Chain A
Amino acid sequence: MSKMTLKTEGDRYVIVTRKFAASPEAVYRAHTEPKLMQKWMLGPDGWTMPVCISEAKPGGKMRFEWADGKGNGFYLTGEYVELNPHNKIVHIERMHLPDPTPDNRVETRFEADGSGTLMTMRMTLPDEKTRAAMLATGMEHGMEASYVRLEGLIEAEAAKGRSAG
């Protein structure tokens, strides 16, 4: 959808912008209150977030667990660094795939834009190993038929790499 933009900044950061037809307060709440987050922070269709812990205060913990209902799942843990209601959230997160990925510092801003809100999210571009792990997860989850067909091939290659290393 053209409402969202995604671009790289240098070779280290990813900047995402998106406009919403709601106040910064509502968008901020939807990013910090577990009951609201569980309704949309889900990724591909068919996935749910059965566990959502979000202690929205500096030093507060985050833990999100996702499941596809077919036995696949992964989780994310993190900590809030800075919260400025309803304009800014800074947090650190890592995904567990199941090994934890390096910490990613994410800064999310909400600015009034006409009658709506402009959100700007700045995150670190993960390193090569982390990108590979995340892409492999997408394939494992069978998001696309062609990915499913490739799964065996990639797993075999990964097993080869492991036994070689």
Chain B
Amino acid sequence: MIALDVTFAALADPTRRAILARLALGEATVMELVKPFALTQPAISQHLKVLENAGLITRRVDGTKRPCRLANKGVAEIDQWLAMLRKALATNYDRLDHVLAEIEPAKRGTKKGRSKK
């Protein structure tokens, strides 16, 4: 089983998810990631550290550069998809809580004798 909690924490940030989407297209250096995200180099490096600690990316040494790539493309993509599903479902079910409170108000209150519709 995938260690989903650690992964979800790393994927909770939209910038980190977007970095993974970029790396799904191929290896990139920090400077190459700075450009499309309009963030500073230290900010990108911090995001990369979180992704690396979560085992989602790996970095290799190439002279003075340390290019990043997805640690395991298949697993990282599945995790990204699961994170999207989790977010969509959590939003839906929070809404469903309100719908259920409307159709079954008797469950919420302590008043008795109220007829259910």
Contact = CB atoms under 8 A, between A and B. Distances in A.
A22 interface: yes
Interface of B: 1-2, 4, 14-15, 17-18, 21-22, 25, 36-38, 74, 77-78, 80-82, 84-86, 88-101, 103-104, 107-108
A21 B107 contact: yes
B18 A131 contact: no
A26 B107 CA distance: 10
Interface string A133-150: 011001100001111011
Contacts, number: 118
Given A14-B82, A30-B99, A128-B77, A44 B104 contact: no
Interface of A: 1, 3-4, 6-8, 14, 16, 18, 20-23, 26-27, 29-30, 36, 39-45, 115-116, 125-126, 128, 131-132, 134-135, 138-139, 144-147, 149-150, 153-154, 157
A154 B97 contact: no
A3 B90 CA distance: 9
A7 B1 CA distance: 8
